[in-house]
Amino acid sequence: MKQGYELVHPKTHMRVLSRYEIQQLKQVSATTHDLVRRCCYAILSAGNMNDNYVEIEGEYQHFDVEFQQEDRGLVLRLFNPPATAFVDNRMIRGVREQLFSVLRDVLYSQGSILQPQQFDLNNGEDVTNAIFHLLRNASVLNSDHSPQLVVCWGGHSIPRSEYEYCKEVGYHLGLRGLDIGTGCGPGAMKGPMKGAAIGHAKQHIRTGRYIGITEPGIIATESPNPIVNELVILPDIEKRLEAFVRMAHGIVIFPGGPGTAEELLYLLGILMHPRNQRLPFPVVISGPRETEPYLQAIDRFISTTLGDIARRRYQIVIQDPETVGQTMAMGIDNVAQYRSVHNDAYFFNWQLHIEPEFQQPFEPTHKNMAALNLTFDQPPHELAANLRRAFSGIVAGNVKADGVKRVAAHGPYQLKGDAHIMKGMDELLSSMIQHGRMKLSGQYVPCYELAKEDS
């Protein structure tokens, strides 16, 4: 039963809407109500360090959200919102802005991109154009900025020493006037933003951008951190990943779990494609001294599965935040020069070629996971795409609602492939478990089983 409620008016996004537009939003919301409700609760409960889906599910059972129409515009009625979203009975401004970002992106994507079939989402070029429209609607494509966006990937479940290292890297990026984009959650997604904010402050940069890019399936267990000042929610993981690489001018990858491995494999699979091999795109994998064995394990896995062609696309830097900052700044200068010569946009990398297997959503059912081709009998960039799907399924089985439910009902996912690939995956995943990189809360029980192909 609904009890106490709060009325919330927009302060930035969606302030000026007609009655017709509000009615459209209400109609779309009626068909996606649970999705909107889940995402809104994630925003309101930001700072909660629990990534156990079952526990989170129980926490928000009494929460709900409704739309109201007033002559002055849209109003949200929130039933039993978390108290942490308020200070002295007033909603925190950053929470309010992120709340309306959810409505803007989730409802707009459903009402203007997905349902009207404005784009053929089975066509690669249309997928890229749809992503462009979503990002432009979120006002994150800034044509006035020179290349300066560094995307940082890394785990949400990391020890304090790694968090401090991520923050120090962000500080050196911020000192060089570089902006930060992350998956918007805690851990290695929050640290670089916090460090960059200090670097920007020292340089008296008041327009620092801290862009969080997420998707509905993961936002509930990786709520946006409070440093994010531009939040974008893409419809699925594949569109989220493409948004990252289209917007980024360089990428720093910190130690993380299967989600970080998924991102790295996605990136390498794209950069290895023959059409992209000449495109400048700085990539640095970095961590503090104690993570060196783990980063070497990642490097070995890439060497075993994708070979030297993939290893040439990144640089490993251990315990040296300043070198990471310098490397990114110099690499982005090369990106700016290349795009200027080739008349490519600074704010969206149109020239990057992305194959359909990296764009089409992968549904991690037990059947689809078991059918993945994890053998060397395919081009390296296609193997990267299938390995990316395997790690995406493990992420789903760990923290996403549908994946957790599937594993609970049908047991662990079954993955089968070449003996060398399976051995490499086993070593890497075992290292993630050993270092606590799978989950923030509770004891980890693997959601997968690995097997070798019959000889």
* Residue with the larger pLDDT of the pair 107 and 191: 191
- Average the pLDDT over 208-234 and give the result: 89
- Average the pLDDT over 434-450 and give the result: 83
pLDDT surpassing 80 at residue 15: no
Lowest mean pLDDT among 48-57, 77-86, 249-258: 48-57
Would you state the pLDDT for residue 269?
A: 96
Show Cβ contacts of residue 318 under 8 Å, excluding neighbours closer than 6 positions. Answer: 286, 287, 288, 289, 291, 292, 295
- Average the pLDDT over 267-285 and give the result: 95
Nearest of 83, 102, 87 to residue 43 by alpha carbon: 102
* Residue with the larger pLDDT of the pair 177 and 6: 177
What is the Cα–Cα distance from 323 to 321, expressed in whole angstroms? 5
- For the record, the structure tokens of 59 come out as 């926490």
pLDDT band at 71 (very low <50, low <70, confident <90, very high): low
Antiparallel, parallel or unpaired: β 413-417 and 283-287: unpaired
What is the Cα–Cα distance from 451 to 453, expressed in whole angstroms? 7
pLDDT surpassing 50 at residue 1: no
Antiparallel, parallel or unpaired: β 73-79 and 64-70: antiparallel
pLDDT band at 455 (very low <50, low <70, confident <90, very high): very low
* Residue with the larger pLDDT of the pair 34 and 110: 34
Question: Which strands make up the sheet holding 64-70, listed edge to edge?
Answer: 5-8, 73-79, 64-70
Model confidence over 353-379: pLDDT tens digits? 999 999 999 999 999 999 999 999 999
Model confidence over 314-348: pLDDT tens digits? 999 999 999 999 999 999 999 999 999 999 999 99
The string of DSSP letters for 73-136 reads EEEEEEES--GGGEETTEE-HHHHHHHHHHHHHHHHIIIIIITTT-S-TTSHHHHHHHHHHHHH
| 3-class secondary-structure state, position 256 | coil
Would you state the pLDDT for residue 178?
A: 98
Sign for the CA dihedral angle at 373, 410, 241, 437 comes to negative
pLDDT surpassing 60 at residue 3: no
- For the record, the structure tokens of 42 come out as 């994630």
- Domains within the chain, CATH numbers bracketed: 5-118 (3.30.1850.10), 134-341 (3.40.50.450), 356-452 (no CATH)
pLDDT band at 245 (very low <50, low <70, confident <90, very high): very high
Nearest of 208, 218, 235, 63 to residue 137 by alpha carbon: 235
Nearest of 276, 279, 284 to residue 337 by alpha carbon: 279
pLDDT surpassing 60 at residue 262: yes
Model confidence over 377-401: pLDDT tens digits? 999 999 999 999 999 999 999 888 8
pLDDT surpassing 70 at residue 76: yes
Check: CB of residue 210 under 8 Å from CB of residue 193: yes
Report CA-CA distances (Å) from 164 to 67, 170, 355, 444: 41, 10, 37, 24
What is the Cα–Cα distance from 448 to 394, expressed in whole angstroms? 7
% of the chain with per-residue pLDDT over 90: 61
Model confidence over 86-134: pLDDT tens digits? 999 889 999 988 888 888 888 777 777 777 678 888 999 999 999 999 9
End-to-end CA, the chain: 59
Check: CB of residue 444 under 8 Å from CB of residue 433: yes
What is the Cα–Cα distance from 416 to 274, expressed in whole angstroms? 28
Would you state the pLDDT for residue 52?
A: 56
- Average the pLDDT over 146-170 and give the result: 94
Sign for the CA dihedral angle at 330, 333, 337, 342 comes to positive
Would you state the pLDDT for residue 2?
A: 45
- Average the pLDDT over 232-246 and give the result: 95
- Average the pLDDT over 407-414 and give the result: 96
